Structure 1
Amino acid sequence: MRLTDMADELYAAPACSALPGGVRVATARHDGVTVTRVEIAREGLERPRGRYVTLEVPRVSVLDERDSSVIEQAAAELRALLPPEGPVLVLGVGNRRVTADALGPRTVQKIFVTMGAGSRLPLPGIRPVAAVAPGVSGATGLSLQQLAGALVRELRPSALLCVDSLCSSEPERLGRTLQFSDTGLCPAQPGSRKHLAAARLGVPVLAAGIPTLMEAREGKDLVVTPRELDSVIAHGAALLGSAINRALQPRLSIAQLCWLAS
C-alpha cells in the first residue's frame, strides 16, 4: 500500500482502474489547473469517509502566491466544504523549526484574523476568524488533541480548519498540489499523533495542505522532499493563506486581503 495523504492518488485513474464501491471521482480542468474531486461514501477504505478536492498546477515548478487564478479556484473549492456562516478557527499544525513540517505554522501567519481584543471587527459581512499554531507536544507538554479541544471549547467555532504538510507518493506533485477535505485531519503515516476528527471535537473539522514529502522507495524510514524546500514552503504558505482568506471573506478582494493580513 502506498503511503499518501492524497485521495486522488489512491482512487483516480490510472492509480485505480476499478473504483471500490462507495467511491466517486470527477476531474475537470480550468485555466491550466486540474481539479479532482473524490467522494468516499462509506467507511473501511484507505481514507476516511468524506469529500476530498485536489488542485494540481503542472505548468510551474512550485505553487506561486501571485497566481490569482489558482487562489480563486482553491478558495471556491474550500468555501464549498465550509459551513456557510459562523466563526472559523484555523489551526496551523506542525513544527515551525522543521522546514518540511512548517507549512501549517507559516500559513497561519498569513491568515486575516478578525477575532480577539485587538481586532476592530466584526464589521458587516466580515466572518469571525481566529488562527493559531499550537506547536508540538514536546515543546508545550500538551497533545494536539488536548490543545485543539481546549480552543474549540473556548471559541465555539462553526468549523475547525487544520493546515498541515502532506505526504505524496508521486515526487512530481511535491510543492505543486493543494488538497482540501472535510474528513478531519487524518494523516496516512502510521502512528501519527495529528488525528483530529469531528466526532472527538464536536465541530466539523476540515483539512488543507500541500504535499512536501514522500516516502523513499528504498526504505520506509526515509523521506524525500523537493529541492528548494524553503521556497516551496514560503510560496505554498502564502498561496494557501490567500486561498483560505478568500474562502472565508468572499466580499474582499485578494489584494485587500493580502494588505489586511500583512
Structure 2
Amino acid sequence: MAFQGTERYVATAELSLAVNAAIQLGRPLLVKGEPGTGKTLLAEQVAESQGARLITWHVKSTTKAQQGLYEYDAVSRLRDSQLGDPRVQEVANYIKPGKLWDAFTAEDPVVLLIDEIDKADIEFPNDLLLELDRMEFHVYETGETIRAQRRPVIIITSNNEKELPDAFLRRCFFHFIRFPERETLEHIVQVHYPDLQARLVKEALDLFLDLRSVPGLKKKPSTSELVDWLVLLLGDEAAQRALHGEGGLPPLAGALVKNEQDLQLLERQAFMRRRRS
C-alpha cells in the first residue's frame, strides 16, 4: 500500500515518494529537517497507513548500538549463581532483547523508528551498518543468529546536530523535510482545526511567517509550535484581537519564541518600530 499521508498527517508529494521508495528498496529512510517538522510523527503515520505496529527506539547521548540488539546481564547471573538459583544454567534467561531484536522477530508488519540518531556517539551509526544491511545479528552468549522474518520498514530521524558517516548514509534513502510553503501550512491547520475561521487562519499565518523571516532569529518557530499557538489563540479572544496590533510581540509569544536572545531581538525591533511611528 503506497503511503500518501493520512487524515492527520499532511505529506508532500516529495515526502510520500521518499517513503515509498525506501519501502520498495528495503532500505532505511533517513529523514532530516529542523525540529518540529513532523519527522517522528511521520513514522507513526506510516505505521498507521500500513496497518503495522510501531516500535520506537529513542536515542540518547548515552545510547549504545548494542542496546538495540540485546543486553546480557552478567551481574544478575553472577548474583543468582551465588544464591543457587537454577536459572543460571540457561544463559538465555539473562538476555534482554533490544528494539532491533523485537522488530526482526515480529510476525506482524512492523515500522521501526530510530529517533534522533545524531544524539548518540559518532560511532553509533557505524556499529549498526551490518545489522541494518543484512537484517540479522549474532548473539554470542547463546550462539544463535537473529534474522528478520520479514523486513521491517525502518525510519531514522536526525536533527543534523552532527554529520553521519558516509558508509551509513550510503545504505539509506535520504529525505530532507523542508519547511512547508504557506499553502501546505494552511492544509495542516485545516486538518487539525477544520472549523477555524479563515480570517483568523490568515492573520495567524501572516504573523507566524513574518516572525520566521526576522533576520538573526536563533530558533525559528516550527510547524508544531504553530499548532500549539493556534490552540491557545482559540481559547483566548483577547489574544485573537491582539493579532491586529502593530509594533509589538505576537500574543502568547511564549508558544513561538523559546529563548531569551530571540525575545530580546523581537523586543528591540518592536521598540524601534514604535519610535519610527
TM > 0.5 fold call: no
What is the TM-score normalised by the length of structure 2? 0.31
What is the TM-score normalised by the length of structure 1? 0.32
The structure number with the bigger radius of gyration is 2
